[in-house]
Structure 1
């Protein structure tokens, strides 16, 4: 692929978009394009169409979305479905209308049924009810997956959906009201460690649920490499899972985060809070057979994420990353 191709990353300042941007630049791509929320509201169809007509991107990577953990989804169901529908549909239609060569849509493993067999295969989509705690977000992403499928079917365009497992990494969201489980753990253990050092006693950390649910995690730089792999290769199908194919319990995750951070106190599980889906691990053989697999171990990824957190504490407070 020519390194001069014009590549537009929607959501280029977010965790995923910025990781893709770094990876593209590292590989020598010279014509990478982004646009801030202040200059382009992706929920506004007119603005999106005008942007595509003016810029004429050849490749589009849709890393823009309203995302959050259980609490954010529970408290904000309308924006989680409406904002995400507007963002992705505006981008897909503008890409279609302006003859974009390749479109990569990023979804989430939450599109699969709550009690689907494990590991999660692409064909399990729409076979049973969703997890209620994030169904609004999931329904929006399912609509995106089916739109990509429809465009491929009717117009034979190289549009692809990638469904990553739980992501974490550099530029993650550490706001305890809206963050996902792993960055929330990093912040909680770090703050408890700081309190312990000030007080001279081991401060406990309280976490939601039983700790028994099992989750799979993927470092965001590995996802960026997967996106570039898909960008540079023509895929035969419309939907591919992206992950490690390995999971662990939230109790095991907590112990690993605790170890990396150096917290010595007790971990208390609040069993009055919801657990969410009992287990989520992706079946990722389709993409692996094509030649892509993750490189960064979970412990290494947590260490890198924690280091970035430490180096950007003030920026995190100001930007509410």
Structure 2
């Protein structure tokens, strides 16, 4: 929603009436969680899901059923402020309104990503004496962001997308609907807003010094990761890497036995894999530099600088 508010401000400043955003309908309908995570674990009831316009999921007795997203139900939010991490909201809302409520007041509509979570949520339902169906954060749609991100954020105007005429496969922002989205034929002509990634994955395989030189000549620098938020951006980028790890702007000094960023700053926020990032590096085998794993949990690892890996450049000094 922060992105939406910034976008609406720039649109309003320019007095633009309609503007393309990077959301397009695909031929693939898939279930995903409101959090943006893919739905790898599924626990449907008998003969479910049965399709049609039933694009949102509700839960009862540990099993899921698909339902029209316009139906009004109570729902469960996830929250970082509760002992159980769960909040039952005893208000009747459609799925989108329930999602908005959870995001504004807690974290999100609850995700059920494995059997253990399913059992914990069902216990919470039983302990809370909830006897009816409740919304969970699972929904199905065929819309995809053009940057291939897995963001599940949607801000459709009520009744949209309606695919009027059967060919409204692109999304635009319309200030007349308080900046909410409507679908529109892709061959219509509208102004648009581009966004420039701060992080650029380079799929050439270079040594760490070569990667540093490339970033400084063509962008700003090898990426610096000073926070959880930046690490999450890095994690989203490295999925497309062709090497098992990707260079960061991390360097080890054998002289003082410390890791530091190429900006000269010390490493405060850390995300090292076990056994990596210590001061006791093998300096006799060559200078060590830092990389992020492109698979698994994408932790940082120490590698000799002469290894050849993909790397991430940043466009800004942030």
Shared fold per TM-score greater than 0.5: no
TM-score, normalization by structure 1 = 0.25
The structure in which a higher percent of residues are strand is 2
The structure in which a higher percent of residues are helix is 1
TM-score, normalization by structure 2 = 0.25
